[in-house]
Amino acid sequence: MKPLLRRLGGLTLAAVISLAAPALAAPAPVSGYTVVKSYPHDTRAFTQGLLYRDGFIFESTGLQGRSFIRKWSLETGAIEAERTIDSRFFGEGIVDWKDRVYALTWTDQVGFIYDINSFETLGEFSYPGEGWALTRDDKRIMMSDGTAFIRFLDPETLKETGRIQVTDDGVPVTKLNELEWVKGELLANVWQTTRIARIDVATGRVKGWIELAGLLPEAGVRGDRDDVLNGIAYDAAGDRLFVTGKLWPKLFEIKLTEGK
């Protein structure tokens, strides 16, 4: 360090370390959006999980005695299949894997495995703590539990294989809720906010935020009670991003605008 000090004309040690170290992290930039199209959404649906597959929206809902899993046509809104969840359970997020749907419950530490076409029960699985949401890439399932952590699960055994802590500018981001895998990034609703986090799953760092506050008046909701933003689905083939909220009358297709 002494030769470096001489070359830098006697700067303090702290100044030298500051120059030599990588730049400190800064808060992630915030992106906006434009609405491409809106679709009708069932105002009875307390949306917990959302995914797009082959022209259909798969949706799971919560609330005790009102939880269900549903498959409905994006274009017509027609319900193709539906399964009511046992009233003992508060339904949470879902994900598709091959010919199956995996579904979480909130505090019972049990999940259910359904046939993706008939919603017939194929089995159960367990996990510690709370269950909030699921999504996947081609090799693994990602799970949120209401904390700042994302768990990685083996898609065949549903056993945890690792986890990351999500942070923005070094600060943990808690209340991570509904998830979606989009173009190599993990998108996560943050419960009771109007923002979606864009997460680098290699580091846990929030790369950016999507601010969706403007959707509330377009949906005709206030978002200050149960009607909060929640639900992200992505059509990879068509490059279409969909968002909605709990008890919202609309589901929106949006395009992201440049972050600031």
Mean pLDDT of 199-208: 97
Mean pLDDT of 4-25: 42
Band (259; pLDDT cuts 50, 70, 90):
low
pLDDT number for residue 258 = 79
Band (15; pLDDT cuts 50, 70, 90):
very low
Distance CA 244, CA 259 (A): 21
β-strand 110-115 against 250-256: which pairing, if any? Answer: unpaired
Does the structure show a pLDDT above 60 at 214? yes
Task: Give kind and range of the element (H or E) at residue 219.
Answer: helix 215-219
pLDDT number for residue 260 = 63
Band (27; pLDDT cuts 50, 70, 90):
confident
Output 215-218 pairs: Cβ under 8 A, ≥24 positions apart: 215/33, 215/35, 215/243, 215/245, 215/252, 215/254, 216/245, 218/35, 218/38, 218/250, 218/252
Does the structure show a pLDDT above 60 at 3? no
pLDDT number for residue 224 = 81
Size of the chain, expressed as the number of residues it contains: 260
CA end-to-end span of the chain: 38
Q: Which of 76, 111, 75, 74 is nearest to 92 (CA)?
A: 111
Collapsing DSSP to helix, strand or coil, 43 comes out as coil
Question: pLDDT tens for residues 138-196?
Answer: 999 999 999 999 999 999 999 999 999 999 999 999 999 999 999 999 999 999 999 99
Does the structure show a pLDDT above 90 at 23? no
Question: pLDDT tens for residues 98-136?
Answer: 999 999 999 999 999 999 999 999 999 999 999 999 999
Distance CA 28, CA 30 (A): 7
Question: pLDDT tens for residues 32-72?
Answer: 999 999 999 999 999 999 999 999 999 999 998 999 999 99
Mean pLDDT of 239-254: 97
